[in-house]
Structure 1
Amino acid sequence: MGLTISSVPQRIAVLTPDNTDESSTFADKLEVSLEKKVALLDRTLARSAFDSLALTAPFNLSLDEAKHAGQAMGCDFFVLIRSAIQRRSSFERPEYYEGYATVFLVSSKTGRL
């Protein structure tokens, strides 16, 4: 599964279901890198449509839930992002920070990753 080049750009929704600042910052940067390659949906509108489904586990969707979410948002694909920066400690070194980002690209047609 991949993005194909066509005369009509793929419609992509970028979502941050965890509502953290880190995830939003990551999503902003991802959208900037994608904006000339695909048609991005307004994040607020996509989020409203996604939230209207009242999904209990947005990072663990069934195929049907993922298809319904994509249909509700009106997109070809949607991206779910979770990102955080965590403080760590160790006996061997002083306090340090670790960051991560989890990115899921979901097909609205099939519901598959």
Structure 2
Amino acid sequence: MTDDVLFLSGAQVARLLHVEAATASQRAAFTALGSGAADPPAKIMHPSRFDDSVAFAYVSRLSADSGAVAKSGSVDPGNAAAGQHTAHAAGVGIQDGGAARAVLRAAQGEAA
């Protein structure tokens, strides 16, 4: 195994990650959260002093034998008027002795 991080396009992820597998992983994550098995610290929420946007960040572990995940992003309602996405997030999955194994980026909302 190398320390290389593989970057995939949205189309590649859609082809490789089937809905059933994605749904199962989310069920496992939310079950761990609901049962108290996950280790999520408080999320940092930082309202902007410039407008109505909010920046956020958090780190978490699903279980004692899983790697950490770090996620950051922002919600920018004002972007809609410019035809841009209103929510953006990036996450890094960290496992295997600290090596990054996945980098995820997502955007949601209206975009031209």
TM-score interval for Structure 1 and Structure 2 normalised by the shorter chain: 0.3 to 0.5
Given the two structures, how large is their TM-score scaled by the length of structure 2? Answer: 0.34
Greater per-residue strand proportion: 2
- 1 or 2 for the larger relative contact order (CA 8 Å, sep ≥6)? 1
